[in-house]
Structure 1
C-alpha cells in the first residue's frame, strides 16, 4: 500500500512540474560598445539619468503585443528577465556613455553641476503588422534650462517571433539613445 501511495505521489508531482509553462525570459541587449570609457570627473561633463518611467501596461513581467488598433495583450510566457524600466535605464546609460565622449553618464546623482535626464516611455511593444513601436518623450535639465523632446519610432521586424521583436525594440531604443546623445552633444 505504501508503495502504491509513493508511486501516485510521484506521478502527481511529475504532472504538476511538467505542465505546458514554457516560459521565455528576455533581456535587452546592449548596443555594440565603442571602447569602454573610463575617466575621472575632472574636465568632464556630468549627466544623471534620473529615471525612465513606463506606464502600468508595460510595467508587468510580460512582453506587450498590440493585436489590433485598440487591443493589447500582455504575454504570460514571454517575460522580461528584469523590470523593463530598469533595463531601459541601464541600456540608456550604457549607450549614452559610449556615445558622449567627454561626459560621465550615470544612473545615480553625480554632483551639483550635473545635467539631469528623465525619460517617459509610452510605447515599447510589438504590433500586429510586424512592426515595433517605441514612443515617449524626454526632458533634459541642462544648467537650469529645460529641453523637452517627443520621440516615436516604428521599426519593421525582419522575422516573426518574440526574439526578433525584442531585438528590434532594443535596436529602436539604441537609435533613440543616439538621437538623445546627438542633442546633448550640441549643448554649450
Structure 2
C-alpha cells in the first residue's frame, strides 16, 4: 500500500489549522516568545552609560491585513484568512515593536536603543512587515523591509527580509513559536546590517 506523500501531509496539517480558524468555541490568546538570550527589558533597555551609539526605532508598520486580532493563515498563493478563535493577546504591531527593540538591545550591547523621538547623532530604523503568518506548506513566513537613516535623514541602508521557519509540530502554539524564531532571525540580520554601517 502506498504511503501518503509530503504534499498530502502538508495539506492535512494546514486543514487542521484552517479548521481551527473557523470552528470551535474556545478562544485562545497567544504572545510571541522572547528572543533567544532575551534579558529582562527593565535591566537592559539602554545599557546605561556604556552605550557608544544611539539607535532610534521609528514606528514599525504592518500590512493592513496583519492589523487584526486573529492569527493569519495563508491558504494558497493568493488567499489569506484570519483565525476566529486563535487570537493575539495584544496588538501584533506592539509585540513586534517591543520584541525587535529588546532583541536589538541584546545584539547591540554598545548601543542605546530608543523608541521614537529625536536625538543628536542617532541612527533611525524603520521597519515594514508585509507578511507574518502561517503558510499552507507548513512554514511560518515573515517578510518585509527595513531602512536605516542617519541623523540628517539620509538613507544609509534599504534591505528586504524574507524568512521562513518550519513548524516543529501541528497547531497554533507551534506556529507562534516558529514566527518568533523567524523574528529572531530578522532582528539578527538587522543588527548585523547596523554594525556594518558604523
* SS of match in other structure, 2:48: coil
In the alignment, is residue 29 of structure 1 matched against residue 33 of structure 2?
A: yes
In the alignment, is residue 118 of structure 1 matched against residue 121 of structure 2?
A: no
Structure 2 CA distance for aligned equivalents of residues 143 and 185 of structure 1: 16
2:11 counterpart residue number = none
TM-score (norm 2): 0.80
Question: How many matched pairs?
Answer: 169
In the alignment, is residue 103 of structure 1 matched against residue 148 of structure 2?
A: no
In the TM superposition, residue 42 of structure 1 has moved relative to its aligned partner by 6.6
Structure 2 CA distance for aligned equivalents of residues 100 and 109 of structure 1: 20
Moved over 2 A (4+): 32-43, 142-145
2:162 counterpart residue number = 152
Structure 2 CA distance for aligned equivalents of residues 58 and 34 of structure 1: 25
- Give runs of aligned pairs for residues 7-22 of structure 1, distance below 5 A: 21-22=25-26
In the alignment, is residue 71 of structure 1 matched against residue 71 of structure 2?
A: no
* SS of match in other structure, 1:85: helix
Which consecutive unaligned segments of at least 5 residues does structure 1 have? 1-19
In the alignment, is residue 136 of structure 1 matched against residue 181 of structure 2?
A: no
TM-score (norm 1): 0.84
Residue of structure 2 aligned with 1:93, choices 78, 101, 105:
101
* SS of match in other structure, 2:59: strand
Once superposed, what is the RMSD of the aligned Cα atoms?
1.7
CA contact (8 A) 2:38 2:102 kept: no
In the TM superposition, residue 29 of structure 1 has moved relative to its aligned partner by 1.1
CA contact (8 A) 1:65 1:72 kept: yes
Which consecutive unaligned segments of at least 5 residues does structure 2 have? 1-23
* SS of match in other structure, 2:117: coil
1:179 counterpart residue number = 189
